[in-house]
Amino acid sequence: MVPLILGLIVFLGIHSVRIVAPEWRNRQLKTLGEGPWKGIYSLVSLAGLVLLIWGYGRAWEVAPILYEPPVWMKHTAALLMLVSFVSLMVFIFPAGRLKPMLKHPFLLAVQIWAVAHLLANGDLASVILFGAFLAWAVIDRIAVEQRREVTALPGPVKWDALAVVSGAALYILFIWRLHLWLIGVPPLA
C-alpha cells in the first residue's frame, strides 16, 4: 500500500497546489516562467502517476476485501462510466450547451469515475485510490467555485453532439478492449 499512497500524495499533491498554496504557485510561475513551471509540474505528475499505478497494481492483488458489491452496483457503475466519458468529452471539445451547464465537466467526470469504481470495487486498495480521487475532485470543485472562475459561454449544439458520440465511442472501446488492455481487468467481469 505504501507505493500507492505515496503515488497519490505526489500526484494529487501537485494537482492541489493551486488549491492549498495559490500564492506560492504564482510566485513559482513568475520566478521560473510558465514553460519551466509546466515542465516541473508535468514531471512530478508523471512520477506520481507511475508510482500510484504501480502501487495500485501491487496492492490490489493482496488488498483485503471490505465489501462485495452486488451485481446491480456493477451495472450502475457501468452506466455511470458512460456519463463520465461523455462529461470528459464535453470538457475536451469547445463549448456547446452542456459545458456551461456542467460548469466543470472534467472534475465532474473524475467524480463520476471515482464513484462508479467505488460502487464496483470493494477492496481496500480500490477504496483508497478511488476515494482519494473523489475527495480531491470534490475539494477542487469547491475551490474552483470559490475562485469564481468564469465558465464557458454556450456555443453550438454540434459540440454537444460530438461530445456525446465520442464519449459513447470511447466508452464502447473501453468495454470492448481498452480497460482490459490498459488495466488488466475486464470491466464487466
Task: Find cell 476515494 and name the residue.
Answer: 131
CB 2 within 8 A of CB 55: yes
State CA 46 to chain mean position distance.
14
Left (φ > 0), alpha (ψ -120 to 50) or beta: where does 68 sit? Answer: beta
Q: For each of the chain's 189 residues, which pLDDT tens digit applies?
A: 999 999 999 999 999 999 999 899 999 999 999 999 999 999 999 999 999 999 999 998 899 999 999 999 999 999 999 999 999 999 999 999 999 999 899 999 999 999 999 999 999 999 999 999 999 999 999 998 888 877 788 999 999 999 999 999 999 999 999 988 988 888 887
Separation between Cα atoms, residue 127 and residue 125, nearest integer Å:
6
CB 91 within 8 A of CB 99: yes
Residue 140 class from Cβ within 10 Å (0-12 exposed, 13-18 middle, 19+ buried)?
Answer: buried
